Amino acid sequence: MDMRRSRGRTWRSAALAVLLTTGTLTAAAPGAGAAGARTETPVASASAGVGVRESVVRVKVPLPRSAGARPDSCDWLSYLRYRAADGPDASADADRILVAQPGILEGAGAFDSVARNTVARAAEQGQHIEFWALDRRSNCLEDRTGIASGDQHTAVDYYYRGKEVEGRTFAGYAADGRLGWMARLGVEQTVRDQYDLLAAELPDQGLRERKVLCGGHSLGGVITGYFAAADFDGDRATTADAGYNQCAGYFALDTTVSTSLADLSGSMPDGIGMPDVGLGYAAVQAGLDSGALPRALSAPVLLNPETMTLLAIAGLGALQDPGAEADLPRYLPSDANIDGTNRFLFSKDTTTFLAGSPTVKDFRLTNAAVLGALMDDNSVPLAFLQSSVGFFDGGPLADKNFPAANGSSQQPGLFGTAYKAIPDRPHGPLYTWRDYDRVGAPDDPVHRSADGTPFTAAGKEVTDLQELARSLAVQPLDFTEQYFPTKLVTDLELAGSPQVKKLVVHPDGLTARPTVTVLAGDGLLAGRIPSDLHPVVADGYQHLDVLTAAPAQNNGRPEPVSTTLADFARAPARS
């Protein structure tokens, strides 16, 4: 199977198109690597992982003036740096450096568990490696003040009730009119940002070529493909600046290193935030420039800055007091976005959805159960948001047959294949959460669907809810992404257009370096795993599990994703 052959457009929104103004990636951003243009701040962590240091690094890499007005913070690039506690202080002295691009609606914080696990695993093998989790430039717009308070009620009061925290008052989520500078944050700028960051942090190109492993999760695999094929000085005859010559190898996490979205079916609803108007490439760019088309992908419910923030707020509760009865559903104010999202996520069937009753407010849930309901593959009906963090406990459950019925052969890939469950006794018992490593324990009641199928089993549960909550709630760079640049997806949707094809200057760069591919056994490529790529398949994993899985697995074996990455990083460097 040729995984780079188009299998048809992943999303059929023909409005997805953006004009790239140059065919090659030229001229490094002014100020990149200038004196005084870098900060690094240690990050305190209560992670179960030991021997790993984390810091948040910010490097000033300004956009050109032509980008337009923007916050000063958006002229900086950021990443989370993970390294062995007993390793060298300078990145250049590390044995290897893994540099990871995030997926759709994903921030640097999503890599927290896999980064820690990989660095720790390599240290066990005598290697001092680093893991850099990149944040997209547009994440500069996020206000984490409420989340950073560490208290769930304070966070809600900050974002919804005008409460001042640390001398700051929430200014509201950025309307599209304030995002004009994002109209050209597409493939060109994204890979240019990675190049400029690497050049600033590791000025020796030969060192980058020997030590840096380039990769990503989900959409990050496609971005890595474009990076590998890019030319950064405008002269294809000189190759020291070519993308592939910045990398010793590539890694793909539930994705492929390619220049096509075809392998990511199910990673996002069709045409989210975009009208299906069939516009051409230049017309859509004009629409983005003018504001006629949204500069950031969003939907009225489920996927927008507000709901992305709510995931972190839910994480705070699960981290503060996982076993306490949650009051978050009732403490949040009522608005169309929150109510609509809850109605979609917590409806048992179509009848319940249409009636609007019972709602999540009618059930007694612990803080852990609230987060589990929002993120677990047996609950949330969106495959690209699913992880395997355990299962409901404490009361009777029913099949969740909305928006798709359990066991249906016609169930869209967008919803995943795991059977969904939902609490079945409003105003009844306190529903708790059974963590991943207690599924299959002697006291597990083994809840079953109406057709007799067990909802889950020990081999299908791989991520610790507390670790997920910590990644969501305490990382200085978000797990989720509130403002995803529309242009980045529109560029990729029109990969065959002359404007985007010009960016693939060195197509052989995609295969110029060794590649390791790790796929989730129940993830986006489930049922069509490409044997020609010789992937490592993480059995039972969902799309997010390749980032969030716990180091100790129920089968007693080493966690496969971090083990594979550590082994890949140990391979002899290129001479």
Domains and CATH numbers, the chain: 38-138+176-264+280-298+484-570 (3.40.50.1820), 305-472 (no CATH)
pLDDT of the chain, 575 residues: tens digit per residue: 333 333 333 322 222 222 222 334 444 444 445 557 999 999 987 665 569 999 999 999 999 998 999 999 999 999 999 999 999 999 999 999 999 999 999 999 999 999 999 999 999 999 999 999 999 999 999 999 999 999 999 999 999 999 999 999 999 999 999 999 999 999 999 999 999 999 999 999 999 999 999 999 999 999 999 999 999 999 999 999 999 999 999 999 999 999 988 767 555 555 454 444 456 778 888 999 999 999 999 888 888 999 999 999 999 999 999 999 999 999 999 999 999 999 999 999 999 999 999 999 999 999 999 999 999 999 998 888 899 999 999 999 999 999 989 987 655 567 778 999 999 999 999 999 999 999 999 999 999 999 999 999 999 999 999 999 999 999 999 999 999 999 998 888 888 888 888 999 999 999 999 999 999 999 887 777 777 889 999 999 999 999 999 999 999 999 999 999 999 999 765 53
| Six token digits for residue 446 | 């083994």
Percentages of the chain per state (helix, strand, coil), in multiples of 5 = 35, 15, 50
User: How far, in Å, CA of 348 to CA of 350, rounded?
Assistant: 7
Rounded to an integer, what distance in angstroms lies between the CA atom of residue 190 and that of residue 192? 5
CA dist., res. 31 & res. 13, Å (int): 37
What distance in Å separates the CA atoms of residue 130 and residue 87, rounded to the nearest whole number?
9
Q: How many angstroms separate the CA atoms of 375 and 384, rounded?
A: 10
Query: How many other CB atoms sit within 10 Å of the CB of residue 220?
Result: 27
| Beta-strand runs (E) in 67-219 | 76-84, 96-101, 129-135, 212-217
pLDDT at 28: 44
Cβ-contact 534, 568 below 8 angstroms: no
Q: Give dist(CA 413, CA 355) in Å, integer.
A: 27
Contact 561, 550 (CB under 8 A): no
Residue 13's pLDDT is what? 29
pLDDT of residue 532: 82
Predicted pLDDT at 407: 85
**Three-state SS for 490?**
helix
Q: What is the pLDDT of residue 552?
A: 94
531 exposed, middle or buried (CB, 10 Å; 0-12, 13-18, 19+)? exposed
How does strand 397-399 pair with strand 421-423?
antiparallel
pTM recorded for the entire structure: 0.91
Q: What phi and psi, each to the nearest 5 degrees, are found at residue 396?
A: -65, 145
Spatial CA neighbour of 103 closest among 380, 462, 381, 484: 484
Angle CA(308)–CA(309)–CA(311) in degrees, nearest 5? 70
